[in-house]
């Protein structure tokens, strides 16, 4: 973590570890070819993208979801909050195709189908009003530490791009992941854990349709934790 007042360096490097991906149906392949290009936020030469300008007129608030899976939560938020621009990061083509198949004519969604860390690195400081991570892969093995979204370089980028008083909302069924995230967020002074009682982390801040992963976790008897953080101070804090 850089000293207080310094922004982390903007870097572009892929850390995707996708493993084996199932073959898509011709219909889903056609969706990716026909619909995704008009919604894709690609990495460009600029290292200071203002995400509000990805729609016309520019959005007053931009919400980001890192790892949207099949897109259930992202689509719900886009429909509930049409005044916001919603950007989702998801590297798996199957998840992107599923979102495209379900989103209809929703015009307030944009998609980055590559490495989320690279996308964070290119965003302008203080440009995101809210960020979600819904059940990110905990990568529990020690050798996988560089893949975790809990690592300090990710936390530093989140502190850089989130506006003052912006929220970071994380849902997980992994106690290990939750512990790592709490420890690293406490090391990053701009973030405050927004919880006064147990209900604040046992229940979501706002109701939403559970994702397929969340339903599976609950069927297996795993408790779901909702960690809510607020970005205090300005971007130079």
Joined tokens for residue 200: 């604040």
pLDDT digit string (tens) for 142-199?
A: 555 565 666 788 899 999 999 999 999 999 999 888 988 898 888 888 999 999 999 8
What single string gives the DSSP state of each residue in 12-57? Answer: ----------PPPPHHHHHHHHHTGGGTB----S-S-B-GGGGSSS
Contacts 24+ apart (CB under 8 A), 85-90: 85/51, 85/52, 85/54, 85/55, 85/59, 85/61, 85/110, 86/62, 86/110, 87/41, 87/51, 87/54, 87/62, 87/63, 87/111, 87/112, 88/64, 88/112, 89/64, 89/65, 89/113, 89/114, 89/116, 89/119
Domains plus CATH for the chain? 26-231 (3.40.50.150)
Q: Which entry of 137, 173, 196, 200 is annotated as an active-site residue? A: 137
Mean pLDDT computed over 95-105: 95
What confidence tier does 96 reach under pLDDT thresholds 50, 70, 90? very high
* Residues in a beta bridge with 231: 191
Q: Are 228 and 195 in contact (CB under 8 A)?
A: yes
Residue whose pair of structure tokens reads 């397929």 in the numeric block: 212
210 pLDDT higher than 60: yes
Q: Is 69 left (phi over 0), alpha (psi -120 to 50) or beta?
A: left
Residue closest to 163 by CA, chosen among 62, 86, 68: 62
Evaluate if residue 74 carries a pLDDT over 70.
Answer: yes
pLDDT of residue 181: 87
* 47 and 124 Cβ atoms separated by less than 8 Å: no
Active site residue 137: yes
- Which residue would you say has higher pLDDT here, 10 or 225? 225
Residue carrying structure tokens 């084996």? 20
Does position 60 have pLDDT exceeding 90, yes or no?
A: yes
Average pLDDT, the chain: 86
């Amino acid at each position: 973590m850089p000293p207080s007042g310094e922004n982390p360096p903007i870097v572009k490097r892929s850390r995707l570890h996708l493993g084996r991906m199932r073959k898509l149906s011709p219909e889903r392949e056609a969706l990716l070819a026909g619909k995704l290009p008009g919604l894709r936020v690609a990495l460009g030469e600029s290292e200071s993208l203002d995400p509000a300008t990805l729609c016309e007129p520019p959005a007053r608030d931009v919400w980001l979801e890192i790892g949207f899976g099949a897109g259930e939560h992202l689509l719900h938020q886009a429909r509930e909050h049409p005044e916001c621009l919603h950007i989702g990061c998801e590297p798996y083509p199957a998840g992107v195709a599923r979102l495209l198949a379900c989103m209809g004519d929703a015009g307030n969604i944009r998609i980055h189908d590559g490495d989320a860390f690279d996308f964070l690195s290119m965003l302008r400081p203080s440009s995101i009003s809210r960020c979600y991570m819904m059940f990110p892969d905990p990568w529990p093995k020690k050798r996988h530490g560089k893949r975790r979204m809990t690592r300090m370089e990710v936390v530093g980028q989140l502190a850089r791009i989130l506006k003052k008083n912006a929220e970071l909302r994380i849902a997980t069924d992994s106690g290990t992941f939750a512990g790592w995230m709490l420890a690293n967020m406490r090391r990053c002074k701009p973030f405050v854990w927004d919880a006064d009682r147990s209900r604040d982390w046992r229940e979501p801040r706002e109701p939403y349709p559970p994702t397929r992963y969340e339903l599976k976790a609950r069927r297996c008897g795993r408790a779901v934790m909702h960690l809510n953080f607020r970005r205090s101070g300005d971007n130079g804090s």
